[in-house]
Amino acid sequence: MTTGTPHPHSGEPKYALGKRRQIEDELRSLIRDGTWKPGTRIPTRVELEKRFQASSATVQWALDELVKAGFVESRARHGTFVVELLPHLYRYGLVFPYQPDHSEWTGLSSCLAREAAQVTKGIPQRFAIYTDVRQDVSTPDHQRLIHDLSTDQLAGVLFTVTPWQITFSPSTVFTHRFPWAFIGDPDQINGGSNIVLDPQLMERAIEHLAAAGAKRLAVISNPVDGRAHDRYAPMIAKAGMTTRRGWWFGLPASRNVGEVASQIALSLFDAPSEVRPDGLIIGDDNHLQQVAAGLRKAGITEAELPVIVAHANLPDPTPPPIPCRRLGFDARRILRQALRLLDRVRDGGDPSSTVIPVQFEDEIPRPLLA
């Protein structure tokens, strides 16, 4: 993960900044429009000094910036050459609104950040990660994103949530023209392609629990209310199960719920076997560890465990703390679809939408879990 705010070369005088940027812009344009193709040896520093009527130091600063941006590479005594994999064709931004240590950083964020390197193995595309990009324009990665867009270093950008916070900030991100996509509701923002995560998680979980023989269903998930219970109660009844409003608990999608999830599980299962739930849906991966702790506090042995369906961000290399069938979205599939959507727009197509299906862990082809 690359971080840091772009800055001028140490010791670069202000009067040279405009000339350096002029040189950068012109050389970058020659690369972008195909005048200088990948593998081309560009003019020597001396030739560039004459061409731009610039000092040796200013030309070198411009070349250093182009090397840093990934457009050219120095080959020692052989000269400077245009790279084979140009950033405006093969480098994609992966943008998160929070940093990994923030309480709102989600399991899906961790999974996407981890799998970004895996999904591009064996292909020329690469993801560059930017974190803490929302209203505050001064954060290092927000500044880096603006800089990289302004210098044509990205082939496209995937926002891991709907980027409405950026649109309501003084950020200049969207003053640049670039292919972009986001994970979220297509009705929340216009302009980009979007990736919808199929909302059928509850339906699939209910089907599995019924097939496994569960009769009494409880739910510990993201914030739910009576309307969620009322929506799914007919489906649960049709599947031959029962539930109660008092068995539906909503918790924030945060790692900081602490003992709350544990206490909920304890209160649900500290009861005789014939009246406690024998089927459980855990709707957020942040809650699984604490629910497992609550079941242990209630004295539930492995033989007495309910049938559990637990949301997960897949692939998840960590074994679950209790036996369960994990259900969620394949992060690699999300990232691959994002690349397709972004390339389509870059090649002249219109922004479009795609749906990622919810899947059980064992339904995802094994090579994707390697």
The verdict on residue 311 lying in a domain is no
Both 38 and 102 in one domain: the answer is no
The string of DSSP codes covering 35-77 is SS-TTPBPPPHHHHHHHHT--HHHHHHHHHHHHHHTSEEE-GG
> What is the Cα–Cα distance from 357 to 276, expressed in whole angstroms?
32
Residue with tokens 């480098």, as numbered in its chain: 91
Q: Per the structure block, which two tokens stand in for 299? A: 């004295």
The verdict on residue 231 lying in a domain is yes
Burial of 213 (0-12, 13-18, 19+ CB in 10 A): exposed
Expressed as residue numbers, the domain containing 40 is 14-84
Both 190 and 248 in one domain: the answer is no
Both 338 and 192 in one domain: the answer is yes
Both 56 and 94 in one domain: the answer is no
User: Among residues 40, 66, 84, which one ends one of the domains?
Assistant: 84
The verdict on residue 22 lying in a domain is yes
In this structure, what CATH number is given to the domain that contains residue 231?
3.40.50.2300
Both 284 and 255 in one domain: the answer is yes
Both 341 and 194 in one domain: the answer is yes
Burial of 268 (0-12, 13-18, 19+ CB in 10 A): buried
Phi, psi of 345 (to 5 degrees): -70, -40
Both 257 and 357 in one domain: the answer is no
Both 296 and 226 in one domain: the answer is yes
> What is the Cα–Cα distance from 223 to 219, expressed in whole angstroms?
11
pLDDT along the chain (370 residues), means of 10: 47 73 96 96 96 94 95 93 97 97 90 96 97 96 97 97 94 96 89 94 96 97 76 96 94 71 95 96 91 96 96 94 97 97 96 96 71
Contact 103, 350 (CB under 8 A): no
Residue ranges in 127-216 assigned as alpha helix (H): 140-150, 164-167, 201-211
The verdict on residue 265 lying in a domain is yes
The verdict on residue 315 lying in a domain is no
Q: Per the structure block, which two tokens stand in for 37? A: 């193709």
Residue with tokens 């069938």, as numbered in its chain: 325
Residue with tokens 């140009």, as numbered in its chain: 86
User: Among residues 258, 285, 305, which one ends one of the domains?
Assistant: 305
Q: Per the structure block, which two tokens stand in for 206? A: 């209910």
Q: Is 197 left (phi over 0), alpha (psi -120 to 50) or beta?
A: beta
User: Among residues 51, 68, 84, which one ends one of the domains?
Assistant: 84
The verdict on residue 316 lying in a domain is no
The verdict on residue 173 lying in a domain is yes
The overall longest dimension of the chain from CA atoms, in Å, is: 89
Give me the pLDDT at residue 7, please.
47
Residue ranges in 151-258 assigned as alpha helix (H): 164-167, 201-211, 226-238
> What is the Cα–Cα distance from 194 to 158, expressed in whole angstroms?
9
In this structure, what CATH number is given to the domain that contains residue 59?
1.10.10.10
Residue with tokens 């197509």, as numbered in its chain: 349
* For residue 43, cis peptide bond before it (omega within 30 degrees of 0): no
The verdict on residue 281 lying in a domain is yes
Both 220 and 238 in one domain: the answer is yes
Both 38 and 95 in one domain: the answer is no
Both 279 and 254 in one domain: the answer is yes
Both 120 and 186 in one domain: the answer is yes
Number of domains in the chain: 3
